Amino acid sequence: MDVNKLISSIITLLVGIAVFIVGMNLMSSGLKKSTGKGVRTLFKKTQNNPVAGMGIGVATTALVQSSSTTSIMVIGFVATGIMTIYQGVSVILGGYIGTTVTGLIASLSSFPISKYFVLLAVAGVIMMFFKKEKIKNIGEIVTGLGLLFFGLSTMSSSVKADTAPEMYEIVTNVFNATNFPLLLFLIGIVFTSLVQSSSATAGIAIVMVGSGAINLESGFYLMLGAGIGTVIPMLLASIGGNVNVKRTTAICVFIRIVTCTLCTLLIWPFKNGDGNYISDFFYYVFKNNELALAMFVLAYNLIFMLGFLPLIKPLEKLFTKLIKDKEEEKRKQELKFINDNLLKSPSLALYQTKREIERMSHLAQKNLNIGFEMLMTLDMSQKDELNNREDKIDYINNAITQYLIKLSPNVTSSDEKVIGGYFHVINDIERIGDHAANFKDMAQKMSDNDLAFSEVAHEEFRKMYGLIQQMFDISLKVFEDHNDFDIKQLHDLEAQTDKLKEELSTAHFNRLKDNKCNVELSPFYSQLVTELERIGDHLTNVGYSFVNPTGDDPLDK
């Protein structure tokens, strides 16, 4: 045996695997960037119809080329309450079917024309030099596809009998020595768990089957084991998740283990000498080992996943009883819409961040209303409620900031501007929350010193606060809907607020001059008018965030 040739073949095999995985990831990255909004739309259409959910799972996984990514996204949605367990499981089952697309693509390497597919990498690289984002994303997909086929070709050449006889002999002997269904099944689980991709296992299995290094039946057992290996990323993502996340994960792991193990046990008895009646049937139909393996994977996923659809509800009830809801799970979560599991899909993560910002805004608005009423009535009964909500606003502000920092490297150039705007918006909302806390502190001081505003001052403040309330509603509407008409209205209200501040300050000064106002109240009056005007500025910034990332009012320029 020529040791140098063997080492060369091993290196070629490893390089081929690396190129295949890089190509697959590059293709997946391009697909995510190109179809991010489409994926978001698909997930938004999730209903309590398991067939629709499965269809969404199939389409999403076919687009992002990873059932693990789909599963992790679903875990994120279940964690935040956007999806129920029932919806999430149906989508993940569809994901298991959608992931077979990579195997089908890899099986094309068995056709003579496939040697020209590697040229796609050249075309894709050229497209990636274009300035237009859409063309660059398509270039990533095409490049990834070309590298995928190049990786398959490289792997194949490293284990073929005619090009690498030493490697072919070793691989054949190893698989002959381990030619036991459960052992091959275990190898499929371990390898897929290590690379965290059943698609990578499919590519390697298809090359091995195509080169004759392993027989088709062995390829079946490897891929059935790979089916269980795919649940490892989902298990890792569920660590620390809430009770619904754990139940969803447990149901999917149970289904995957049952279906893959059951299919293995169904195939095993059909031995036919050195072969198997089931594998012989698939080869007879498709006349090609590579395509036969890919079609087998598609067939068993279709049959078993569809078969489990009617059982999702009973399984949900079973695992609800098995996995008890602990007391801490009943506690309200600080974050409702974002978690790290969504970062794998930047477009979805950005959309969910917007929802979290909107929620933060409503919390600040509620505190502002309470704080203002405290000043007007000096009723401090809601002080603790305001303090707790202020702590929550601060926490959400910090959490969103850290989330956007982690999200920033993965978004498109246009979304970078959106993220820049979001940084300014959460800062403005947090400052509004601080103003509400200031109102509470002022009210406490006034109450401690037996001070209260006059009826005239009350009327003036309520008039100005009425404008602030209008601005708050409009700024949130503009942030959510990006309506130009509302922007103009917001600009006009800010101008009225600025003017009213000057009028109130002048009126207050005149009352002081005529001894019609308590001097001790003067600092509180001036501070309240000033803070209301500043709140108006912050609300204007929020409204203008989608026009200008800094939030500055362009109508002032």
Q: Model confidence over 468-525: pLDDT tens digits?
A: 999 999 998 888 876 666 788 888 899 999 999 999 988 888 887 777 777 888 889 8
Where is mean pLDDT largest: 48-62, 143-157, 241-255, 472-486?
A: 241-255
**Half-sphere exposure in the Cβ direction for 214 (13 Å, CA):** 27
pLDDT at position 198 over 70:
yes
| Rg, C-alpha atoms of the chain | 31
Supply the CATH classification number for the domain 340-556. 1.20.58.220
Integer Cα distance of 44 and 61 in angstroms: 15
Q: Which amino acid is at 224?
A: L
Q: What percent of the chain has pLDDT over 90?
A: 32
Average pLDDT for 234-263: 88
Residues contacting 303, CB < 8 A, separation 6+: none
DSSP state of 5: H
Place of tokens 């509407």: 477
Integer Cα distance of 36 and 233 in angstroms: 21
* Nearest Cα to Cα of residue 149 among 99, 185, 98, 113: 113
Q: List the structure tokens of 461.
A: 């403040």
Sequence ranges of the chain with CATH classification 1.20.58.220: 340-556
**CA end-to-end distance (rounded Å), the chain:** 80
User: In this predicted structure, what is the pLDDT of residue 428?
Assistant: 95
Reported confidence tier of residue 53, pLDDT bands at 50, 70, 90: confident
> Quick one: which H or E segment has residue 275?
strand 275-276
> Quick one: which H or E segment has residue 396?
helix 383-407
363 vs 101, residue with greater confidence: 363
With 0-12 / 13-18 / 19 or more C-beta atoms within 10 angstroms meaning exposed / middle / buried, residue 110 is: buried
User: In this predicted structure, what is the pLDDT of residue 72?
Assistant: 77
Q: What percent of the chain has pLDDT over 70?
A: 88
> Quick one: which H or E segment has residue 456?
helix 455-481
